[in-house]
Amino acid sequence: MSLAKRIIPCLDVKDGETVKGTNFVNLRSAGDPVELAKVYSDAGADELVFLDITASHEGRKTFTEMVTRVASAVNIPFTVGGGIHELADVERLLYAGADKVSVNSAAIRHPELINEIANRFGSQVCVCAIDAKETLGHWECYLNGGRVNTGLDLFEWAREAADRGAGEILFTSMNHDGVKEGYANEALAKLSTSLSIPIIASGGAGNMRHFRDAFIEGKADAALAASVFHYGEIKIADLKKYLKAEGIKVREEAVRH
């Protein structure tokens, strides 16, 4: 039996507040992350992702105290990313209340970090986040919140991450981020069919049909979104009702592991 598709609000946090931009720039405030986290947990979100979006760029650690506050406000699985460079960072965040960690820039610079996390804590703890941009038909991976082009091929890196023990791939299309015209379904489908681990779609949600298309056309296992939830454009309960009517299996209620 196929697994239920997951709906995941994302809290991009900068300087202690939730922000949202377009194509990774022009950030604007979206509210208090702890309050938003509780709202989403109560509203039926399946999981939450909390990304300290400038941690790698600024070379500092994720704000651990806020992670503890968010974790205490929710009763669903909770993933934290930003500024994770070594196992001690992972241990600190798990101790603070995170269920999983998301590694991005550090994993590209030091791929063995994925092996270390999987070996120490289990693959289910390690989410490999990939920010990629399509240029002339070729998807390349970016570092530090989309600031640095690595030239690394999206599909090759995703496969390596899976082989090293990542439990999930969180793929954000920089071309689609904040534009609200749909997810990068062609790239998602290629990732989903070529890898055996779950793929989380990110970047591009503007209406309920976009979620449907990510699951059907993109074959994604989960869909992550920010602004459509933060600004009340889509209610999670309404979204799940719509997806169910479209024949997509969704979870009735989420339970924290």
Which residues are known to be catalytic? Answer: 12, 131
The token duo for 53 is: 């979006």
Is 125 within 8 Å of 94 (Cβ atoms)?
Answer: yes
Please give the DSSP secondary-structure letter assigned to residue 179: T
Provide the H-helix boundaries in the chain.
Answer: 33-43, 55-58, 64-73, 87-96, 105-109, 112-121, 154-164, 185-194, 208-216, 227-230, 236-245
What single letter denotes the amino acid at residue 213? D
User: Could you give the CA distance from residue 164 to residue 113 in angstroms, rounded to a whole number?
Assistant: 9
Phi, psi of 187 (to 5 degrees): -65, -40
User: Could you give the CA distance from residue 91 to residue 120 in angstroms, rounded to a whole number?
Assistant: 10
Helices (H) and strands (E) counted in the chain, each on its own, are: 11, 12
Measured at the CA of 230, the angle between CA 176 and CA 26, to 5 degrees, comes to 50
What's the distance, Cα to Cα, between the start and end of the chain in Å? 21
The token duo for 67 is: 């992670």
CA 100 to chain centre: 11
- Looking up tokens 């507040």 gives 17
